[in-house]
Structure 1
Amino acid sequence: MPMTSHRHTAWSGSLAALALVAGLCLSLPVRAADSAQGLRDKYQTVAPQLTDNVFHRPLVLESTEAPDRLKSDIYSVLDYPFATVKNALGDPEHGAANWCDVLILHLNIKYCHATQGADGGVLNVNLGRKVEDSLSSSYRLEFGYHPVASSADYFRVELSAASGPLSTRDYHIMLEAIPAPGGGNHTFLHLTYAYGYGTAGRLAMRTYLATVGSGKVGFTKAADSSSGAEPEYVGGVRGLLERNTMRYYLAIDAYLKSLSAPPDKRLQQRLNTWFNATEQYPRQLHEVERQDYLQMKHHEVERQQAAQ
Structure 2
Amino acid sequence: MSRSPHLPVSWTRTLCGAVLFAASLQACLAAPPEPAAPAQALRDTHQRLSEKLDHSSFGRPVQLDSSETPGGLEGDIYAVIDHPLPEVTAAFKGSAHWCELLTLHINNRRCKTATAQGRETLTLYVVRRYDKPVEQAFELPFVYRVANATPEHLSVELSAASGPFGTSNYRVTLEAIALDAQKSFVHFSYGYDHNMMVRLATQAYLATFGRDKVGFTVVGKAPDGKPEYIRGMRGLVERNAMRYFLTLDAYLSTDAKDASERRQRHWFAGAEQFPRQLHEVDLDTYLALKREDRQRDGAR
Instruction: Give the structure 1 partner of residue 144 of structure 2.
Output: 145
Identify which range, 116-125 or 164-173, moves more after superposition: 116-125
Q: CA deviation at 1:52?
A: 1.0
Query: Which residue matches 2:202?
Result: 205
Name the residue aligned to 2:12. none
Q: In the alignment, does 2:160 pair up with 1:161?
A: yes
TM-score normalised by L of structure 2: 0.84
User: In the alignment, which residue of structure 2 is the partner of 1:18?
Assistant: none
Counterpart CA distance in 2 for 1:192 and 1:233 is 21
**Please, which of 71, 85, 89 is the counterpart of residue 86 of structure 1?**
89
* Shift in Å, 1:59: 0.4
> Is the Cα–Cα contact under 8 Å of residues 165 and 198 in structure 2 kept in the other structure?
yes
Q: CA deviation at 1:298?
A: 1.4
Structure 2 runs not aligned, ≥5 long: 1-33
Distance 1:119 1:250 in 2: 30
Change (3 A) 1:68 1:113: same
- Residues 37-80 of structure 1: per-residue CA shift (max 9 Å, x gap): 00001111111111212211110001111122111111001111
In structure 1, the residue matched to 2:47 is 44
TM-align CA RMSD = 1.9
Q: Work out which structure has the larger RCO, using CA pairs closer than 8 Å and 6 or more positions apart in sequence.
A: 1
- Which of 235, 238, 252 aligns to 1:239? It is 235
Q: Which runs of 4+ in 1 moved over 2 A?
A: 129-136, 301-307
Counterpart position of 1:134: 133
Cα offsets for 1:230-285 (capped at 9, x unmatched):
100100010011011111111100001111x2x12x11110110111111111011
**Is the CA contact 1:166–1:200 (under 8 Å) kept in the aligned structure 2?**
no
1:12-91 equivalent positions in 2, closer than 5 A: 34-89=37-92, 91=93
The higher radius of gyration belongs to 2
1:230 paired to 2:226: yes
Residue 58 of structure 1 aligns with an amino acid whose one-letter code is P
Give the 3-state SS of the residue equivalent to 2:215 in structure 1. Answer: coil
Write the distance in 2 (CA, Å) between the matches of 1:207 and 1:199: 12
One-letter identity of the residue aligned with 2:168 = R
* C-alpha contact (below 8 Å) 1:216/1:284 kept by paired residues: yes
Report the number of matched residues.
Answer: 267
Q: Displacement, 1:135? A: 2.6
Residue equivalent to 1:280: 273
Greater CA drift, 79-88 or 208-217: 208-217
Secondary structure, aligned partner of 2:193: strand
In 2, the alpha carbon distance for the partners of 1:288 and 1:53 equals 27
2:285 to 288, 292, 295: 292
Which residue is 1:24 aligned to?
A: none
Alignment CA distance shift 1:211-1:49 (3 Å): same
Amino acid paired to 1:141: L
Say if 1:32 and 1:154, in contact at 8 Å, map to a contact too: no
Distance change (3 Å), C-alpha of 1:174 and 1:206: same
Q: CA deviation at 1:204?
A: 2.7
Partner of 2:21: none
Q: Identity across aligned pairs (percent)? A: 40
Judged with a 3 Å threshold, the aligned counterparts in structure 2 of structure 1 residues 39 and 216 are, in CA distance, closer, same or farther, namely: same
Which residue of 1 is the match for residue 213 of structure 2? 216
> Contact 2:168–2:192 (CA<8 Å) still a contact in 1?
yes
